[in-house]
Amino acid sequence: MGSQLRDYQTTIAERISLSGVGVHSGAPVTMTFVPSAADTGIVFHRRDGEGRSHAIKALISEVGTTDLSTTLGKRNGVTVSTVEHVMAAISGAGIDNLIIEIDAPEVPIVDGTSAAFLAAFDAAGLDQQTARRRYIRVLKPSRIEAGASWAEFVPHDGTRYEVEIDFDTPVIGRQVFAADMSAAVFRDEIASARTFGFMRDVEKLWAAGLALGSSLDNSLVIGDDHTVINPGGLRFPDEFVRHKTLDAVGDLALAGAPFIGCFRSYRGGHRLNAMALRALLSDHSAFEIVEMAGVPGSGASLVAVPAPAFAPWAV
């Protein structure tokens, strides 16, 4: 990931499961991560109430709603929601191919971060495959604006995130996180940053049937006195923007391949992330597909390759 470009695709070495509850539904859910063949990509196998399995590809073309979280599966009515934290962990771990079996409509929130998913991948181990890994390289700026918010991709030698937030509360205020992303940066500086919300919004969310599984164990909560009410306080002084960066990593992993470039956003969220990714991939002059050519470690370099007709980055 980032400046540490991998030459070959990877999957996990063995099956592993993880259980929890959905942050919005409050319902129990179990996910099983299954090794898969090269060029499979990331695919959710959602089991419905009648025991049938529905395949949902983790791609921007499958994104439905982006209210409070990112939901996949807009086409056949079967959905998987709150995918951003597990997708961020998949991206952070450098996993290209994976089947995710899930028995409920929402990914478990666990502790509100990507850390538990990373731990599961660590336990399973990674398996390098023989197929070359492809990247989406940004060739020119691609920008979208929505009111006071904006997001853009610009060319960069590596994978970089520059995320800025601005909340009208003193405990958050204006925060910026900027870094060239790598597996180590994601693990050490991003993966354990928690999702957050305001106590004043809780009753509205409950009335809408949302946040039923939210608690101080899986969310940072800002009280009416504008302080964090969680015991122990913040994990980072700027934990809020780090979590927004985590969300961006997960949302942009729905490109279908890692990107080489810089992603910048101001006052962003799931909807803005999806809009920016769609804008980039809709302009075929703004990016190219590349892979490593030559022998790894012996002067290999990235070269453009033809995008196949079934290219997952097509929107």
Residues labelled catalytic: 270
Write out the two tokens for 284: 């075929």
85 has binding-site annotation: yes
What is the C-alpha to C-alpha distance for residues 78 and 46, in angstroms, rounded to an integer? 8
Cβ-Cβ contacts under 8 Å for 233 (sequence gap 6 or more): none
SS3 label, residue 185: helix
Ordered alpha helix ranges (H), 158-216 = 183-185, 202-207
Cβ-Cβ contacts under 8 Å for 241 (sequence gap 6 or more): 163, 164, 165, 175, 176, 177
Write out the two tokens for 154: 């610009």
The sign of the dihedral angle between the CA atoms of 288, 289, 293, 299 is: positive
284 has binding-site annotation: no
What is the C-alpha to C-alpha distance for residues 1 and 297, in angstroms, rounded to an integer? 17
180 has binding-site annotation: no
User: Looking only at Cα atoms, what is the longest distance across the chain?
Assistant: 60
What is the C-alpha to C-alpha distance for residues 9 and 133, in angstroms, rounded to an integer? 5
Residue ranges for the known binding site are 85, 243, 247
Annotated binding site for Zn(2+): 85, 243, 247
